[in-house]
Amino acid sequence: MATASFLTRARALLRVRNQLARECLAELLAVFVLILITLSGSAQMVTSSGTKGNILTAYLAGALAVMVAIYTAGGVSGAHLNPAFSLAMCLLEQFPWWKFPIFVAVQTSGAFVSAGAVYALYYDAIQHYSNGTLAASGPRETASIFATYPADYLSLSNGFLDQVVGTALLMVGILAILDTRNKGIPKGLEPVAVALLVFSIEVSMGSNCGCPMNPARDFGPRLFTFVAGWGVEVFRWVEGRGGGG
């Protein structure tokens, strides 16, 4: 009885009553979960040299991560997870513009912190695979665990088009799934449909740039690699450099 009373008082003290704070915390947690699973799938593939994962398992991890993240925060913040989606909601007048920079900052911060967690989780594996050298290019590069890089053949203009088309398709698909005037999806299964949408885009449009489709997902971890020792090369576009997805 005393324990139950203590837990009740603790919950009352820790409860966040401000709606914006609740939304930000939910978005932060959801993005953390999203990036933790997504990058871990890439880390497992890269550091095992493909023996414990491949590009298909990495894509599947990313798609399922979206599903888990939406279930995590959908009821509180709407689980935007992505500055592109937040922007689309603003343009459609379904989300206030004043919240947009706040959500972008929270999403990017969540991705940055999550990249640090993946680095800690796979620290020994990364050090072993890379022989202790953190590189963004070359046969033992590990930067592609955290961010996406262009294929050898890709030009800047084609890379830009690739991301515009992929992200636009993602936005159209999500809006179609959420539109109550369309053929309905059973209530509660919307995150599953979005995960399948993400997976379909990844397996059909992932070869050029790795299909990030999410500025926070790419910039947050990329910023982490810069801070953690990979160097400024993580921000440079070099045709023919290579790099993973």
- What structural domains does the chain harbor? 20-235 (1.20.1080.10)
Number of neighbouring beta carbons within 10 Å of residue 116: 16
Distance CA 78, CA 70 (A): 8
Tokens of 128: 């072993």
Tokens of 102: 């706040």
pLDDT tens for the chain, residues 1 to 245: 566 676 666 666 657 678 899 999 999 999 999 999 999 999 999 999 989 989 999 999 999 999 999 999 988 988 999 999 999 999 999 999 999 999 999 999 999 999 999 999 999 999 999 998 998 888 899 999 999 888 888 888 998 999 899 999 999 999 999 888 888 788 889 999 999 999 999 999 989 988 888 999 999 999 999 999 998 989 877 554 444 44
Model-wide pTM > 0.85: yes
Which residues lie below 8 Å from residue 244, measured CB to CB, with a gap of 6+?
42, 46, 141, 144, 145, 148, 149, 210
Distance CA 169, CA 176 (A): 10
